[in-house]
Structure 1
Amino acid sequence: MGYRVLADATVVVHFAFLVFVVVGGFLAWRWRILIVPHILAAVWGLSAVTIGIVCPLTVLENWAREQAGIAGLPPSGFIDHYLTGVIYPDSAIGLVRALVLGAVLVSWIGFVAIRIRGRAVPVGR
């Protein structure tokens, strides 16, 4: 049972990571310290999608599932197992990736704009 709990906890952390990849840049608008971890998370996510870096969370989940006697994730990985074909259709993967990339880029542009505006000298001073 302990390994099953570990596998389930890993799924929760993995989903939290994916949410952070999408919205972390927007959170950095308020808490600027989050921009560095968000950049790292976004680069990791982009690397996983483009060059197939294996995520350690996927490795941990597979190990815990194996220890619990549960089938591991398919070779296509976490996103394909839990999201593609479940949350959005297989045919929309390109659109979903483009939307995620767009959200990340908009959040970074907004972050820079907010930082520049915050440094501007008020008019009349």
Structure 2
Amino acid sequence: MMYRLIGEAAMMLHFLFLAFMAVGGFLAWRRPRLIRAHLAVAAWGVASVVTGMECPLTVVEDWGRRNAGEQGLPPTGFIDHYIEGVIYPEEHTNLARLAVAALVLISWAGYLLRRRRAATPPPVNRK
């Protein structure tokens, strides 16, 4: 039972991690301290796509499921198992990656604009 809970918890954390990667920059508009965490998460996302690194959450989920007597994740990993072909067709993987990258860049641009606006004093109205 405990191994299954570990596998399920890792899966949920993975989904939350991916959601934060996609929209965490927008959260930083209200909570500026989140921007550093979002930069790290986005960097991890880029590195994992470019290098093919296996995510530790995938390893933990697979370990938990196998030790619970369930079938583990396929060798292709979390994204291929839960997202590709389920949320979007497999042939649109690059389009989905581009959409997430666009969301991240838009959120960062908005964050920078909001920070600059907050740092600029309002104009003095002299009459």
| Pair in the same fold by TM > 0.5 | yes
- Specify the alignment match of 1:14 in structure 2: 14
| Separation of aligned partners in 1, 2:92 and 2:82 | 15
Provide the aligned length of Structure 1 versus Structure 2.
125
- Specify the alignment match of 1:53 in structure 2: 53
CA distances 1:92-113 after superposition (whole Å, capped 9, x unpaired):
1111000000000000111011
- Specify the alignment match of 2:111 in structure 1: 111
CA distances 1:69-99 after superposition (whole Å, capped 9, x unpaired):
1111111110110000011101111110000
Q: What amino acid sits opposite 2:24 in the alignment?
A: G
Structure with max Cα Rg: 2
Q: Which runs of structure 2 are paired with 1:13-92 in the superposition (5 Å)?
A: 13-92=13-92
Which stretch has the larger CA shift, 35-44 or 65-74?
65-74
TM-score of the pair, normalised by structure 1: 0.97
Q: CA deviation at 1:58?
A: 0.5
Q: CA deviation at 1:14?
A: 0.4
- Specify the alignment match of 1:98 in structure 2: 98
Which stretch has the larger CA shift, 36-45 or 69-78?
69-78
C-alpha RMSD of the superposition: 0.9
| Separation of aligned partners in 2, 1:110 and 1:33 | 15
Q: What amino acid sits opposite 2:92 in the alignment?
A: A
Q: What amino acid sits opposite 1:5 in the alignment?
A: L
Identity among equivalent pairs (%): 49
| Separation of aligned partners in 2, 1:49 and 1:76 | 12
TM-score of the pair, normalised by structure 2: 0.95
Q: CA deviation at 1:6?
A: 1.1
* Unaligned stretches of 5+ residues in structure 2: none
Q: What amino acid sits opposite 2:45 in the alignment?
A: G
CA distances 1:32-57 after superposition (whole Å, capped 9, x unpaired):
00000000000001111111111110
Q: CA deviation at 1:66?
A: 1.3
